[in-house]
Amino acid sequence: MRMAGAAVTLAAGGVLAMAPGAAAASPTPAAAYNKACGTGYKVVNQVNIGKAGTTYLTYNSATGKNCAVTVRGTPGPAVHMYVWVQRDDTREYADDDGYYRSYAGPVYLTAKGYCVSWGGVIAGESAGRSGTNCGRVTG
């Protein structure tokens, strides 16, 4: 894992859609979760990236790991995509940045009991959340 650089840059650049700890009803996803994180991971949060797709935050209570994946609404020719998740107390983060046809990630980060910030980018559109899922999820 790398120390926060890209995630902090995104946050400072106004990418995050909500204030720390803010809660909002999850709108209908622009893209369905593709189960890319694997067995044992349950969706605990999501944010739409415009109409382009959705970034999902998942959690595995057995391992204490979060996983994030950015999924396009309609797969097609490769476009720039990015997904990141950061543990807020240590600023450790995991990310995936590249050109993909359907999804970026999954990326994993141990953060049991700690707040995380996370988000994604699809073809220049971006969205994320700051200071969420602060250990309130039990499984």
pLDDT (0 to 100) of residue 139: 42
Whether the CA torsion 54, 81, 16, 62 is positive or negative: it is positive
Q: Average pLDDT, stretch 104-128? A: 96
Q: Does 86 have pLDDT greater than 80?
A: yes
Q: pTM score > 0.85 for this model?
A: no
Look at 5-14, 89-98, 115-124 and tell me which has the smallest mean pLDDT: 5-14
Q: Average pLDDT, stretch 73-89? A: 96
User: pLDDT band at 136, cuts 50/70/90?
Assistant: low
Collapsing DSSP to helix, strand or coil, 9 comes out as helix
Q: Does 44 have pLDDT greater than 60?
A: yes
Q: Does 60 have pLDDT greater than 50?
A: yes
pLDDT (0 to 100) of residue 135: 72
Tell which residue, 79, 72, 66, has the closest CA to residue 1: 66
Q: Does 94 have pLDDT greater than 70?
A: yes
In this structure, which amino acid lies at residue 57? Answer: L
**Cα of 52 vs its chain's centroid, Å:** 15
Residue bearing tokens 């009803």: 25
pLDDT (0 to 100) of residue 27: 64
